Structure 1
């Protein structure tokens, strides 16, 4: 069975807004590239994150170095699902789904293929509570932002218990933490 993997950058205080965080250095960028190249063949986005990521990463003018080029090429080439009730269509190998994200991801987990990368923040509580997310890859950067979108906005109906299975400290002071749901 495929796994749904949430992988995201965040500050020490839980902020996930990409504009508030330092850009990925070679180590952190390499971490995400390895994750996407080896283990993933589908990305699931919410509309807002999809619109942040595309068309930016599909435009070669935004690829500043080898790391960006590898990421941009892989991200654009991968199949994607975007969950939206307002978006009519999407580009870059993307299918728009307007039905329940948890139900759709549970169906997709049963289909053949590699893992599914989850690139959304707004649906984390709903998907976590439904038991859809199997792994959490959190890269915590050594900054305190103090404002902005948090990893989980609001509250979960019940506490979600995770098990730390791997950690890696980068030269920048960022720490990659890999958790499995229990």
Structure 2
């Protein structure tokens, strides 16, 4: 069975946004390293449209730093599943599903392969409740933004989910990468 990892950038005050930080070479190398064991990206429409075509353009035009280009090339090479009711067409590496993301992710998790990276805040409670997320990678940025989308809304989980801290990594720019693994749930 494949492992499913949830990966996200977050501000110190708990808001999720991929534009809050400064993408240093060191941080981009970390993100590229995270993708080394990933062979499938599982996105909601909003996250997909935030990531693509931006990173595809960086890979094609080679318009970023060396670390950004390496990340972009790795990201665009990975197969993608996007949950959307409105998107119509995609590239050959992207599949659209229309509904029941938990059931689809459960099927994908049961197939042979490497890690599935989930990067969607909107479906997180549903996927956690279904027991599908194994690992959590959060990169905490040293910034307070005061508004935006929280990782989880109050009452969005039916129970408490206990996690085990596996690793931390501190970056020169003040970011801290936290890697947690799912433990048995406690009510």
TM-score by length of 2: 0.91
Moved over 2 A (4+): 60-63
Query: 1:101 Cα shift?
Result: 0.8
How large is the Cα RMSD of the aligned pairs? Answer: 1.3
Taking the aligned partners of 2:177 and 2:16, their CA distance within structure 1 comes to: 14
Taking the aligned partners of 1:46 and 1:145, their CA distance within structure 2 comes to: 23
In the alignment, structure 1 segments of 5+ residues that lack a partner are none
Say which SS state the counterpart of residue 29 (structure 2) adopts.
helix
Mapped contact 1:13–1:145 kept (Cα < 8 A): yes
Query: 1:177 Cα shift?
Result: 0.6
Relative to structure 1, the CA distance from residue 76 to residue 92 in structure 2 (aligned partners, 3 Å threshold; closer, same or farther) is farther
Alignment coverage as a number of residue pairs: 180
Counterpart of 1:140 in structure 2 is 140
In the alignment, structure 2 segments of 5+ residues that lack a partner are none
Say which SS state the counterpart of residue 88 (structure 1) adopts.
coil
Counterpart of 1:41 in structure 2 is 39
Relative to structure 1, the CA distance from residue 87 to residue 154 in structure 2 (aligned partners, 3 Å threshold; closer, same or farther) is farther
Mapped contact 1:81–1:96 kept (Cα < 8 A): yes
